[in-house]
Amino acid sequence: MCGIVGYIGKKEAYPILIEGLSALEYRGYDSAGIAMVDSTGLTIYKDKGKVDRLKEITRSIEKEKGAIGIAHTRWATHGAPSKVNSHPHTDDKERIALVHNGIIENYSILKDRLKEEGIEFRSETDTEVLAQLVGKYYENDLAAAVRRALADVEGTFGIAVVAKDQPEVIVAARRGSPLVVGVGDNELLLASDASAIVRHTKTVIYLKDNNLIELHRDGIYHTTTLENVQITPELHQLEYDAESLAKGGFEHFMLKEIFEQPQTIKNALRGRLLIAEGTARLDGLNIVHQELRSIERIIFVACGTSWHAALVGEYMIEDIAGIPVEVEYASEFRYRNPIIGPNTLVFVISQSGETADTLAALREASHKGATVLGICNAVGSSIARETHGGVYLHAGPEIGVASTKAFTSQLTVLSLLTLLLGRMRRISHSDGMTIANALQAIPSQVEQILKQNVKVKEIARIYHHHSNFLYLGRSYNFPVALEGALKLKEISYVHAEGYPAAEMKHGPIALIDKEMPSVVLAIKDSIYDKVISNIQEVKARGGSVIAIANEGDCEIEKHARHVIYIPKTIPILSPLLSVIPLQLLAYHIAAMRGCEIDQPRNLAKSVTVE
C-alpha cells in the first residue's frame, strides 16, 4: 500500500500521474515512484520521501512525450522506507514494471524458489516477488503473465503492470485491495481511490475482487476474472467533484472537515428523518420491518474511530430499543469463532468501505449465515457491494487521515437506526418525536460550538507542550473520551488515554499530577454529580481540568480550570456535540506542535492490509 495511479490515452501521462499522486497524499505514505512507457522503452523514477521529492527528480521528463504510465505512493510494510524499496518494481530483465497495494503472504517461499532459479532480488519487499513472477512468465502477453503470477500468490493485492515492449496496455487486477478505473474521452485512468481521477472523469468502474482489466488506448478496456472468464463491468457515476477535494481557504483538510459537520450531519439526516411520525426511514437496509422486529441481537464490527461510534450505537440501541448489542474489533472478530444465531444482525462500520479487517469480518459473518449490513461513506466500496444492504453516510470525501466528519455522520446514522428500532419495539410516538426533533436541531447546535474555535485554540495554547492527557467520560460520553484521546494521539503524537471516569480510581489516578491535564466530559445528565466528584479527585492531586459542559451550568466553573460549553440536547445525542470541542482541541494542539496534521506519521487513511 498505499496509493496507485495509472493513465493511458492521448495526453501526456506524467502530469496526470503526478497530479493523481498529490491527490492521494492524504492516505499516508513514505516514498513515491513513477514508470513511463513509450517507443524508447521503460523509464522509472522513484525515491524515499514525498511527492515533491519525486517532482524534483523528474523535472527533466515533463517535456518528454509519453501517454502511458503508472505511479505509486508507498506505506512501508515489508522493508524500510528507501529508494530501493519504493515502487515501481521490475523483474530482473527490466522488461516489466509493477506497483502494488496489499501483502503477498507467501512471498518468502516464492522468493526462495525464484532465487534457486537464478533470479537476483534488489529490495526487501514482497512486491518485488510479484514483479519477478510476472517477468518470469512474460512472453509478449502481459495479461497472461499477470494471471499466471497471481495464481502463485497468496494474500491481497491491487496491482498495475506495464511492459516496455507492449506500450499500448496497462494490466490491473485486485483481490482485497481497491482499484477504480476512470472512463474518460478516449482515455482511461486507474487509481486506488477515486479522488485521484475525479478531475478527469466522473464515470468509473469499481474493479471487483479476483478481476483483471486490460486498459488500451482510445478508451477500450477488457475485463475478465483471474481465470480469464469475460465479464461486463458496471459503470458508476461519482457523487462528488474536484472542488470538494480543495481546502476551501482552510489551512488543513482536517479543519475544513471539522467545520463541514453541520452540513454533513444534515446530509446524513436528509430524507431519513420523519419528524411527524416520530421515526426514521432507512431504505438501504433492504430488510422488511417484520425482519427487524424479530432481531434478538446486534453485533457491530469496526476499527478505530468507527469502533468508537459503534460503542455509542450500543448504548443507544440497548437504551431505546431494548436489543442486546455487542461491539467487536474487526481484527479480533475475524479470528474468533463468533456465535451468530438465526436472529442476529451484524453491522460492519467503515468510512472507506475497504478496511481489510472489517471486510474479513464481514465475510466471516456472512459465511456463518448472518444478515450483514454496512454503514460506510464510500459509494461502490467493497463493503457497500458485499453486504446485504446498508446505509451511506453521504459525508463526501474525507481527506484528513484523522476522521472527524465521518465519525459524526456515523453517529447520526446510528441515531436514526436507534429511532427506527425504538419505535418498532418500545418507545411511544411522543418519545419518538422528541428524539426526531432533537436530531433535527443538531446541525445548528454544532454550528454554535464551532463559533468557539478561538476559545478552544487559546486553551490549546496553554496545554500544547504537555506530553500526557487523560480523557474521562461516563455513559454515552465514555466513547467520546476514547475518541478525543485517539484524535490527540493520531495528529499531535501526544500520549492520551480515554477512560470511564469512575475507572480513574482503579489505576490511572496514580498518573495524575500538574503535568497531566484531564479533559472531562461533564454533561448534565443523571450521573452529572458523579462526574463532578471525579473532577474533584483530579484537582485534589494537582491536575488541571478542561471540562466540556452544557450551557447554563454555573456549577462546573467552581471545579474546572477551563470550561467549553455546548448546547443542551437529549442524553443519547450528546456525543454528536461533545466530540466537536475535542476535535478542535486536538487540531490546535497538533498545529502548535508543528505536526503534519492531514498526513500524520505512520498512519494511512484506509488500512487495506492486515
C-alpha cell recorded at residue 43: 523509464
Which 3 state secondary structure label does DSSP give 197?
Answer: coil
C-alpha cell recorded at residue 597: 496534521
C-alpha cell recorded at residue 27: 492516505
User: Does the active-site annotation cover 55?
Assistant: no
Q: Which one from 2, 303, 376, 595 is the annotated catalytic residue?
A: 2
**Which residue bears the cell 512472453?**
139
d(CA 463, CA 592): 10
Closest residue by Cα to residue 18 from 7, 8, 29, 9: 7
d(CA 98, CA 35): 9
Please check whether residue 226 is in contact with residue 143, taking contact to mean a CB–CB distance below 8 angstroms.
no
Q: b/e string for 307-346 if b means 16 or more Cβ within 10 A? A: bbbbbbbbbbbebbbebebebbbbbebbeeebebeeebbb
Q: Which one from 50, 202, 208, 605 is the annotated catalytic residue?
A: 605
Q: Between the CA of residue 170 and those of 6, 177, 198, 218, 556, what are the distances in Å?
A: 8, 18, 19, 13, 63
Please check whether residue 1 is in contact with residue 102, taking contact to mean a CB–CB distance below 8 angstroms.
yes
User: Does the active-site annotation cover 83?
Assistant: no
Q: If you write DSSP's letter for every residue of 373-415 in order, what string do you get?
A: EEEESSTT-HHHHHSSEEEE-------SSS-SHHHHHHHHHHH
d(CA 210, CA 530): 55
d(CA 370, CA 232): 29
For the annotated catalytic residues, the residue numbers are: 2, 605
